[in-house]
A and B are shown apart, each in its own frame.
Chain A
Amino acid sequence: MSDAKAKSPGAVQTTGHAWDGDIQEFNNPLPSWWLWGFYATVVFALIYWVLYPAWPVGGSFTKGVLNDITFVDSDGSVKTTHWNTRALLIRDLKEGKEARLSQEYMSRVSAAGYAEILADPEMMAFTRSVAKGLFGDNCAACHGAGGQGVIGLFPNLADDAWLWGGSIEAVSTTITEGRYGFMPAFRDTFNDQQLSDVASYVLSLSGQETDATASARGEKIFQTEQGGCYYCHTHAGTGLKSQGAANLTDQIWTIADVNGTDDPASKKERVERVIRNGVQRRMPRWSERLSPDQIKLLTVYVHELGGGQ
């Protein structure tokens, strides 16, 4: 090409054909680097077709040869198959540098007892970082990303009130078995006056300002067979953990949003509503969805959210 140009600079080459005497065909060949580049891609494609899955054949496809990949599947079985990125990903997730490091920590945490984990800063850091993901996937839908819950619906896990107990064992049981929180509705049992009195008494238990005589009437209902509230909430009002009954003497309100208002009448109204309608809350059991190790991690994580007991 360059030689031809040197002979007649500026002129475009023709193919040499001539039609009707003067119609000629220009010859502008592709640059050779481009052409060789194209040939190289053709050679690449041919080699690729042999080595990798490439062509659809009926309902199947050519699998490629000399390029098998071996990986450990999720059920623990070792599988060898034609090369594919899914298997590669599974293998990398299991055998990658970070994965191996994570497995090493996991087996340490798995072998350790709860007390050991809680005392070890490194295991705690690992547990919190892994469990944060587990919590986000499984728990945050109800309890919120930080475990703050939704008042009236889902308990706050970040405070220090534990309906079902805040010890490691109790938290573990709660996650494993699930919980069914129940308080009967008293709308058919109490009249409006009685509801108001009981609400006054309940508020007075945690030091809220109430009418003393109304509270005294309410106490009578609360502490006797007439209301029977003490069965679960106990005479002191601190609640039976075995029943998941709320401690009425502290500053935390999980169902009635008493702290959300400054108006005494509206505080009482909110408590009345709970007594009138009762409570039914259910947390599912997680033993079927999560492995014992995952539950272990979550137990520590939830325990640490509010400081545990």
Chain B
Amino acid sequence: MSDAVEQPLYQARIPIYTRSVKGHFRNLKWGILGLAYSVYFLLPWLRWERNVGPDQAVLFDISARKFYLFGLVVHAQDLFWLAGLLMIAALLLFFVTGIAGRVFCGYFCFQTLWTDLYMLIERLVQGDRVARIRLDKAPRSVGKLLRKGTTHLLWLLAAFLTGLTFTLYWEDAPRLIVEWFTGKAPFAAYATVLFLTATTYVMAGLAREQVCTYMCPYARFQAVMFDADTRIVAYDAARGEGRSGRHRVARSFKTHEERQQQGIGDCIDCGYCVQVCPTGIDIRNGLQVQCISCALCIDACDTIMGSLGWGRGLVRYTSEKQAAGQPSRIWKPRTIGYGLVLLVAASALAWSVGNQAPLELSVVQLRQPLFVRLSDGRIQNSYELHMENKTDQPVDLVIMMRGLAGAQLDVGKLASLELPAQRSLRVLARVRWGSSQDLKGSRSFAFNIVPQRRTDLGMLSAPATFYLPGADY
């Protein structure tokens, strides 16, 4: 046992103290963050006037099985659009990643956005990198506790608002928020807020880059879409290292000319690119699996190179081929293929949404009993017609049938068949047909529903089968 070595079950996290940076990409990322947060946090409060239904622009009403998206109402039958949307999202990811690398990870992923927000909070409360390292090393004190406590409280607040906002998409926002704070909201609302508060706090506050490195499958499989033409954030090693490697700015390594003469590259080994990296890697070591392509190292290096006047772009967006001095292209067969499929999928979804059926009719045969003999010898089959009106106006319907000569259709004593806006209805219909004892087997026919006084709606038909006694079904 003496030589037993205790293997750690997982690698302990090496704390990353990111340094703030200013630059084009940082500005772009703040812009995207601002836009994304404005949409996410404000959208549930946007009102929308409808003839029927809630006045919330975006509302996913699970209990009524209707998703309200501005002028569009998505019904349960339209749920395959979600599959279409997911496919388009996947194809878009393939398409963009093939061209420009992990753009999603670096700019749009909520893990990145929320981590950015949490880092901002951290910086505003505790100061920048050096101040935070010092604070962590400092002995326990009231001041330290206050700064740390404030950070975590603000993190929790941000996490709570994130969770609370999420629930607002599933219920009328102004009402739910009052119910939430008066203890009258549904259990699911509290559970969701609690869960999302906890996960946001843990993922963006504590786990951070470990989510991207260890947990996220997208991070890993995006590498599969890379090729030599894909844009990646890369260090120009030829320029940075020169013939004799990089060197700090020191005596006799000061000016560009001095360095060039001695074969020293442009990289002054200031470490800024490493300090700003949210995943704690050194971009100068080449493309790594941890890199989320956030481009902050580009901003960092451009800041330094710009101030030295040596020309920006030592760390820049490039491709493997470009970096090797070869021509690089964007439109490869694979990119074109993804693009075409994406175009087809998006067009199909747009067409399907644009041509949403305003009326739906489905027929269910009542099978117990399948048929019944009537006193006059005719056979009766019963059907349940399920009709749905997806428009925002009520519609009067007349039920008719076609295809069974001489058959009698009976929908009971219904005075009229008015289908209210955005509602569905089940109606029992009986069909009586055939008087000869010899009739056997089954016959196909169709139910038609004909909208009255509505020029925008056409007749709708659904097939049905009439069963007769005396055959093997």
Contacts and interface: CB of A to CB of B under 8 A. Distances in A.
Interface of A: 2, 5, 10-12, 97-98, 115, 118-122, 124-125, 128-129, 144-146, 148, 156, 158-161, 247, 250-252, 259, 304-308
Interface in B340-393: 366-369, 372-377, 380, 382
Contact of B413 (A118, A145, A306): A118
A307 B380 contact: yes
B380 A306 contact: yes
B368 A251 contact: no
29 contacts: A12-B1, A97-B63, A119-B413, A120-B415, A121-B425, A124-B414, A124-B428, A125-B425, A125-B427, A146-B366, A146-B369, A148-B372, A158-B369, A158-B380, A159-B372, A159-B373, A159-B374, A160-B375, A250-B375, A250-B376, A251-B373, A251-B376, A251-B377, A252-B375, A304-B412, A306-B372, A306-B380, A307-B380, A307-B412
A115 B374 contact: no
A125 B380 CA distance: 21
A294 to B, nearest CB: 19
Interface residues of B, number: 32
A5 B12 CA distance: 13
A10 B6 contact: yes
Nearest to B417: A121
Contact of A159 (B5, B368, B380): B380
User: Which are the 10 A-B pairs with shortest beta-carbon distances?
Assistant: A146-B368, A250-B375, A119-B415, A148-B369, A118-B413, A10-B5, A251-B377, A159-B372, A158-B372, A125-B426
Contacts of A148: 368-369, 372
Contacts of A156: 369, 372
Q: Is chain B's binding surface mostly helix, strand, loop or mixed? A: loop
B4 interface: yes
Contacts of A307: 380, 410, 412, 430
Contacts of A11: 6
A12 B425 contact: no
B418 interface: yes
B384 to A, nearest CB: 9
Contacts of B376: 250-251
Contacts, number: 86
B414 A121 contact: yes
Given A119-B414, A121-B425, A307-B410, A251 B374 contact: yes
A12 B375 CA distance: 92
Contacts of B420: 122
Interface of B: 1, 4-6, 12, 63, 366-369, 372-377, 380, 382, 410, 412-415, 417-420, 425-428, 430
Given A158-B382, A251-B377, A121 B418 contact: yes
Contacts of A250: 375-376
A149 to B, nearest CB: 9
A159 B375 contact: yes
Contact of A12 (B6, B377, B427): B6
B469 to A, nearest CB: 8
Nearest to B7: A10
Contacts of B367: 146
Given A124-B427, A159-B375, A160-B375, A118 B414 contact: yes
A5 B7 CA distance: 11
A118 to B, nearest CB: 4
Contacts of B6: 5, 10-12
A125 B424 CA distance: 10
Contacts of A159: 372-375, 380
Given A121-B418, A125-B426, A252-B375, 13 more contacts: A10-B4, A119-B414, A120-B415, A125-B427, A128-B426, A148-B368, A158-B372, A250-B376, A251-B377, A259-B373, A305-B382, A306-B380, A308-B412
Nearest to B384: A128
Contacts of B372: 148, 156, 158-159, 306
Contacts of B428: 124, 128, 304
Nearest to B427: A121
B313 to A, nearest CB: 42
Contacts of B4: 10, 12
A10 B428 CA distance: 77
Contacts of A5: 6
B413 to A, nearest CB: 4
Nearest to B368: A146
B161 to A, nearest CB: 25
A159 B12 CA distance: 77
